[in-house]
Amino acid sequence: MAQELTEAGLNVLALERGVWQDTPTFDFTANEHRMSDYLTDRAVEIARAMQPREIKVLRRKGSWDVVPYQTTHNTGGTIMGTDPKTSVVNRYLQSWDVHNLFVMGAGAFPQNPGYNPTGTVAALAYWSAQAIVSRYLKASGPLA
């Protein structure tokens, strides 16, 4: 979920090696735990209706940890929008502040809709690339 507490900083160890690396810092909020509990409860209801021999319920607890979430599709950070005051990139994934910077990836999403975002990321990348080729290269400047 999008939240104001999410931060991004520079990885100091990577900088010492001459590599520019952004390091996101975030954690689950109380509301995300409530949403997770709600969905878990609905899944348990469905499972019980199927009358299984056993149900094992694993509730999300505590802080975010990379170890059990190796396939998490983290999103956000460079939110796409129609207003430079509330977003980082326009609908073509072009930076509002630096017109020759196009930011591809799931960072454009305010939150993960629930499934692997790869298809949507690819579609947006094609959309952006088409605008770069057909519009930006002919007349550089803001596309929005």
The catalytic residues are 73
**Full 3-state SS string of 8-35:** EEECHHHHHCCCCCEEEECCCCHHHHHH
What is the distance between the alpha carbons of residues 90 and 83, in angstroms, rounded to a whole number?
Answer: 8
DSSP E strand boundaries for 11-143 = 22-25
Q: Which helix (H) or strand (E) holds 7?
A: strand 7-10
Query: Residue 120: helix, strand or coil by DSSP?
Result: helix
Q: Is the dihedral angle over the CA atoms 23, 31, 62, 1 positive or is it negative? A: negative
